[in-house]
Each structure stands twice: as structure tokens, then as C-alpha cells.
Amino acid sequence: MTELRALYTLWLREIKRFIRDRARVITSFVQPLLWLVIFAGGFGARLTIPGINYQQYLFPGIIGQTLLFTAMFMGISVIWDKEFGFMKEILVAPVSRFTIFIGKMFGDSTAALLQGVIVFVFGFILGIPFDPITLLAALPIMLLITLGLVSVGLIIASFIGSLENFGAIQTFINLPLFFLSGALFPVSGAGVPEWLKVASAFDPLTYGVDALRTVILGSAWPSLQPLYVNLGVVCIFDVVMIGIGTWAFSRMK
Amino acid sequence: MPHVIETHQLTKAYNHSLMAVDNLDITVESGEIFGLLGPNGAGKTTTISMLCTILKPTSGTATVNGYDLIKESHKVRQSIGIVFQDPSIDDRLTGRENLYMHANLYGVPASEQRDRIDRILKLVELDDRADDLLRTYSGGMRRRLELGRGLIHYPKVLFLDEPTVGLDPQTRDHIWRYIKELKEAHDITVVLTTHYMDEADRLSDRIAIMDHGKIVILDSPPNLKATLEGDVITVKANNIQYLQELVTKWLGLNKNHIVDNALEITVPSGKSVMPRIIELATQNNIYVESLILREPNLEDVFLHYTGRTIREDTTKERHGMAAAHRRAIK
């Protein structure tokens, strides 16, 4: 019971901090719009995908990208807390490290999920053809994608001391995961180099984005993997990352 | 339970050789304010960190509120409150939100939270600012909130690590008053580290002077000063080193140190010695600028037992100021 209340309060704090950070909320609106309007407008004129237009193809990918970038960025809260001392208040509390990790992870995941939902709303406003009801089916998938990625962000942040280093690692992780996931172009398409296909198979986001496409585009999208395989891979990724995250937090001083 | 805190050969070593805390044996009585006084690097914060279960001791044991530091760390944590040297509040939350968060982390029953938080806010005189974001608070207000926060879960011991570093004199005076009031109102034991002599003197019932990881001497402030047996004479003169040689050699006053270009001499009876110092100086063509007689303070006690002044090391001061500055600009 005590642990549950601690979990709740940690979760609530992340949400409050997220909502109060107006600059971040506004920036997070703009980026998906740029992708969906400008990038899709120009790139889509060249790239043809059978059965669907490029904007439709890109849309689930940009949801995945938003989840990825937001989730990883959330790790910054750990560095921030270390830098400004609040982490000490949390770490000396009579609360298990598992609870601390899970509380923070769920809080950050909720924030990332909110951003994903915002992209969904943009898609609707932009007139991308999809059934709004699919949001209900996409939400749990989005949550599953987020949990593991937020964990990765928190793990990295727990090992790193400064904001500068965190930025550098973001570049080395975010962009490769994004490009390899098939969010922007079909990785299984003809002419894609073999090494790229192999690398993309090791990207957890590949499975997440494929699952999202399956749900949002329906029969128009020939899935790379059956839905249960995609979700299975994402779930395993989540469990492993949560395990490592708990360990990483338990060694934090 | 005889003592609130007992340590037995408590030790923290880094890299197998550097003894940050060296076989510490102390007992803290219930209801007292116990001061750990020493310069930067003396091992005060390391000691507190071990007692708060943040750091694992290399060897030795200790009990806090009767709980073993290592085997019952969870219970130790529940029964103590901590105010860290550096700020540890969330400045994107309001004062009240910070307190609620603490109450939830420490398992304060939901039905009691509101009442306790209201009372604490009144006690530290922040009730009118409780719903403002922390980033609009001054350094002193933040410190007060941290002090109050440490008490919400009704701890039996409150640890204060350098509670007034980086604060202006007036705010420090306020904080001292709060610490005394909070202690009375909540009937708790306080363990305090400081490198400010006046702070230790004003607040502590007993002071342990710490240096190089060891307790040099432990007693009440009046007793500590009494151990010096006498007065302190401060002489300013143009050739201070020579004067030091002379008083040691001819007057046999060997309890002396040069501090800030002045010679400080501890003597049993100052009045009778002062004329002889002037006489000696004049005979040797030393010009005495001033001669002050005063009662010994903790600074002298520290100097006497460690051979150096606590002020020689001001890095911590600058560190504290930097932290305060960072707080202010954020």
C-alpha cells in the first residue's frame, strides 16, 4: 500500500512537470506536423507504395517516431533530478528502487503517450484517411512501445552525469532506431540493401511501427509480421528493459 | 533504548587507503542537538550519509533508533528526516505539492496528510506562499521548506547537513530559530554538521570536533571552551613571526598560532601577561599595533586541537555560494 502510494506520487509528479513545461509541449506539437505536411508532401511525390499514399504510410511511422523521441527525451528528467538534487530526496525515501523506477517510467510513458495521441489528432485534422476508432486499438500498442523506450532513456540517464552527454547519446540511439524502423520508407522493399534489412530486424521499433500500421491501415497494409509476433517482440523488449532499469536504479547513489 | 544513535568502529574508506571516516565511536542522546564540527573533508557528510543509509560503511556498525544500519535500513529510513547540504526540492512543483509528495513517499496516512502539511507550513511561515511554484522562492524560503519537509513523517531523528551554507546572515539567524523551534515542537533529536563555529555554538548541546575522519574531542560548547583554561590574546604587530619566537622563548607561552597575520596566544590569565608582551616587543623594536583580550571561542578550541583554523579551507563556502547562485538563476 505504501509502495503503491509512492508509485502514484512519482507518476503524478512526472505528469505535472510535463504539463507545466509549456515550451516542450509546444515544440512537441510542431515536429510531427513538419514531418506529416512538408516531408510527406515532398517525399511522397517520389515514393510510391502500392495501395496507399505516402502520407498514410508515414502517419503510423511518425506516431512511432514521436513516441521514440519523447520517450528517450524523458530520461532527461533523471539527469535533471540528479543535477538539482531532487533525486536524493527520492532515493533516501523508504521506498523500493523497483517502485521508484516503475513510478517514473509510468509517469514518463503517460506523457509520451499523450504526445502520441496528439499526433493522432493531427492526422485526423490533416484528413489522412483512417478510422478514428482505430485510436482505441492503437493506444495499447502505443503504450507497449513507450514502456520499453522510456526505460531505455531512464537507464541511459541513470548512468550519465551531464546533460551534454545525454544529448550526444540521443543522437546515436534515436536516429538509427528511427531510420531503421521503417517509419520513413519500407525496409522490406525491393532494392533495400541486405545489411539494412538485417539491422532493421534488430530494431524494436520496427515491430512497433509495423503493429501500428496493421491496426491503423488495416487490410491496405501487408504486414511484415503477424500482429502477435510484433506485439510479442515489443513485450519481451519491455520486460527486459524494465528489468535492466530496476537494476540500474538500484545501483544509483 | 539507551541512545538514539550508537556507532561502533564505523569506517568508510575509499580506494582501500583514504579513511574518510576512521573507526568512529559516538553516541547521541535522545532529545539533544548533536553538532559535528569540522573543516571541509573532515568526514562529516560521509558520517551522516552512512547514518542515513545512503552510503554503505566499509566496516563497523551503527544503530539509529535501535535499528541496525545495514540489516534494517528500511526502518532506519522511515524513522529519520534528512535535510541535505545541497537543495533537493522540485522547483517545478509548489511548496505544498513538494510536501504532499514527501508525505506519500514516507507513507503518511492519507487522512492525516492535509492536517500535518498545513501545520508544518505555518511553522516555517510559508503558508501564504504554499501554492506558488518553488522557483519563485528565495534561497532562505527553500531551506525553510526543506526543514519543514523533513518533519512531515514525524521522524525521531533529523539530520541537517550544513543547513545554512550559502545563506545570508539574517536568513541564517532565522533558520537557527526554526531549528530550535522545530526541535521543541516535535520533540526530536537533531544531528547537525557544520563548518560554522557560531552555528555549532548557538545550536548544539554537544559538539564533536571532527578532523581527518576522527573525533578530536566531544563535549558541550561551554566545556570545550573551558578546556582551554584561560583567555585568548590577539596581537597585531609589524614583525609577527619574530614576536611569536620571542613570546615562546622568553615568556614560555607556547599555546600560540598565527592567524590572519595576528598572533593568538592562549594564556591562563590574560591581564597579567599583556603588559609583559608589550614590554618584550618594545625591547626588541617590534611595533605593536593592537592587543585584544577575549574569552576563548570554538574557533580557538578547534585551533588548539587540530593546529589549524577551520577558515583556512573556504572551498566549501564557495561551493555553497555556487549552489545558492545556481538556485537563484534557475
Mark which of B208, B224, B240 sits at the end of a domain: B224
**Residue predicted with more confidence, A38 or A25:** A38
Residues B210/B20, Cβ–Cβ less than 8 Å: no
B87 touching chain A per CB within 8 A: yes
Whether residues B184 and B213 fall in one domain: yes
Contact A85 B55 (CB under 8 A): no
Q: How close does chain A come to B55, measured CA to CA in Å?
A: 8
A23 touching chain B per CB within 8 A: no
From CA B44, how far away is CA B35, in angstroms rounded? Answer: 10
B309 touching chain A per CB within 8 A: no
Identify from B46, B49, B88 which residue to disrupt to test chain A contact, counting A C-beta atoms within 10 A and taking the largest count.
Answer: B88
pLDDT, tens only, A183-199: 998 888 778 899 999 99
Contact A89 B89 (CB under 8 A): yes
Contact A94 B74 (CB under 8 A): yes
pLDDT, tens only, A120-131: 888 888 888 878
* Domain enclosing residue B147, as ranges: 5-224
The number of folded domains in chain A is 1
Whether residues B59 and B196 fall in one domain: yes
Close Cβ partners of B208 (under 8 Å, ≥ 6 residues apart): B26, B34, B35, B36, B37, B215, B217, B218
From CA A75, how far away is CA A241, in angstroms rounded? Answer: 13
Identify from A24, A92, A96, A251 which residue to disrupt to test chain B contact, counting B C-beta atoms within 10 A and taking the largest count.
Answer: A92
- Residue B319 within any structural domain of the chain: no
Residues B141/B126, Cβ–Cβ less than 8 Å: yes
- Tell me the range of A38-42, A201-205, B225-229, B242-246 where mean pLDDT is highest: A201-205
Whether residues B197 and B59 fall in one domain: yes
Pick A92's closest partner by Cβ from B77, B86, B110.
B77
Residues B103/B117, Cβ–Cβ less than 8 Å: yes
Question: Looking at residue B108, what is its pLDDT?
Answer: 93
A4 touching chain B per CB within 8 A: no
ipTM: 0.86
A100 touching chain B per CB within 8 A: no
From CA A59, how far away is CA A129, in angstroms rounded? Answer: 10
Residues of B with Cβ-Cβ distance to A20 under 8 angstroms: 92, 133
- Residue B156 within any structural domain of the chain: yes
What is the strand order of the sheet B288-294 is part of? B256-259, B262-267, B231-237, B288-294
Whether residues B187 and B259 fall in one domain: no
- Is the model's pTM score more than 0.90? no
* Domain enclosing residue A110, as ranges: 2-250
Whether residues B151 and B269 fall in one domain: no
Residues of A with Cβ-Cβ distance to B101 under 8 angstroms: 9, 12-13
Contact B93 A84 (CB under 8 A): no
The domain spanning residue B257 has which CATH number?
3.30.70
A22 touching chain B per CB within 8 A: no
Looking only at the bridges linking them, the beta strands covering B59-64 and B189-194 are: unpaired
Mean pLDDT within A46-73: 89
Whether residues B206 and B252 fall in one domain: no
Contact A84 B100 (CB under 8 A): no
Residues of B with Cβ-Cβ distance to A7 under 8 angstroms: none
Question: Looking at residue B254, what is its pLDDT?
Answer: 82
Q: What percent of chain A has pLDDT over 70?
A: 100
Whether residues B143 and B285 fall in one domain: no
Whether residues B210 and B283 fall in one domain: no
Whether residues B173 and B52 fall in one domain: yes
Pick A13's closest partner by Cβ from B55, B90, B133.
B90
Give A29's Cβ-side CA count (13 Å radius): 7
A34 bridge partner residues: none
Whether residues B199 and B121 fall in one domain: yes
Tell me how many residue pairs between chain A and chain B have CB atoms under 8 A apart: 71
Whether residues B192 and B254 fall in one domain: no
Residues B165/B142, Cβ–Cβ less than 8 Å: no
Question: Looking at residue B257, what is its pLDDT?
Answer: 85
- Residue B329 within any structural domain of the chain: no
Mean pLDDT by 10 residues, chain B (330 residues): 84 84 91 89 90 91 92 92 90 94 94 92 90 92 91 91 85 85 86 89 92 90 84 89 87 84 86 87 89 85 79 54 52
B137 touching chain A per CB within 8 A: no
- Residue B325 within any structural domain of the chain: no
Whether residues B203 and B55 fall in one domain: yes
The domain spanning residue B11 has which CATH number?
3.40.50.300
CB atoms within 10 A of CB B289: 9
Grid coordinates standing for A175?
A: 536516429
A251 touching chain B per CB within 8 A: no
Average pLDDT taken over every residue of chain A: 90
Contact A6 B82 (CB under 8 A): no
**Residue predicted with more confidence, A7 or A28:** A7
pLDDT, tens only, A120-164: 888 888 888 878 788 889 999 999 999 999 999 999 999 887 888
B330 touching chain A per CB within 8 A: yes
Contact B105 A95 (CB under 8 A): yes
Residues of B with Cβ-Cβ distance to A13 under 8 angstroms: 90, 93, 97, 101
- Residue B285 within any structural domain of the chain: yes
Residues A199/A180, Cβ–Cβ less than 8 Å: yes
Close Cβ partners of B287 (under 8 Å, ≥ 6 residues apart): B237, B238, B281
Grid coordinates standing for A31?
A: 515536429
The number of folded domains in chain B is 2
B93 touching chain A per CB within 8 A: yes
Q: How close does chain A come to B73, measured CA to CA in Å?
A: 9
Q: How close does chain A come to B285, measured CA to CA in Å?
A: 57
Residues of B with Cβ-Cβ distance to A2 under 8 angstroms: 107
Contact A85 B92 (CB under 8 A): no
- CB < 8 Å from A in window 24-83 of B: 52-55, 74-75, 77-78, 82
From CA A169, how far away is CA A161, in angstroms rounded? Answer: 12
Question: Looking at residue B329, what is its pLDDT?
Answer: 47
Residues A12/A107, Cβ–Cβ less than 8 Å: yes
Looking only at the bridges linking them, the beta strands covering B157-161 and B231-237 are: unpaired
